[in-house]
């Protein structure tokens, strides 16, 4: 294996979610910022909400509504 090609590993990297939850994990970056974590993800919370990415869900619903009429 070549030496000095691997990134530095941080065993105590801090993960910060948009919802305000923070926890530590191992990563190659000192701090990670995420949009969804286990505290706010619908699968883990049991809520039935849609995690919308860039308005794709709303665009689909508009197209589907037009197709039905």
**Could you report the per-residue pLDDT of 25-67, keeping only the tens digit for each?**
999 999 999 988 888 877 777 776 666 666 777 888 888 888 8
Give me the pLDDT at residue 52, please. Answer: 61
Question: How much is the average pLDDT of 4-12?
Answer: 93
Between 1.10.357.10, 1.10.3720.10, 3.40.50.920, 4.10.80.400, what CATH number should domain 10-68 receive? 4.10.80.400
**Would you state the pLDDT for residue 25?**
95
Do residues 13 and 32 make contact, with C-beta atoms less than 8 angstroms apart?
A: yes
């Amino acid at each position: 294996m070549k030496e000095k090609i691997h990134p530095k590993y941080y065993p105590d990297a801090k993960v910060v979610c948009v919802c305000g939850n923070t926890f530590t994990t191992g990563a190659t970056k000192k701090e990670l910022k995420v949009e969804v974590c286990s505290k706010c993800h619908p699968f883990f919370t049991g809520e039935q909400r849609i995690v919308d990415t860039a308005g794709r869900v709303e665009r689909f619903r508009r197209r589907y509504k037009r197709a039905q009429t």
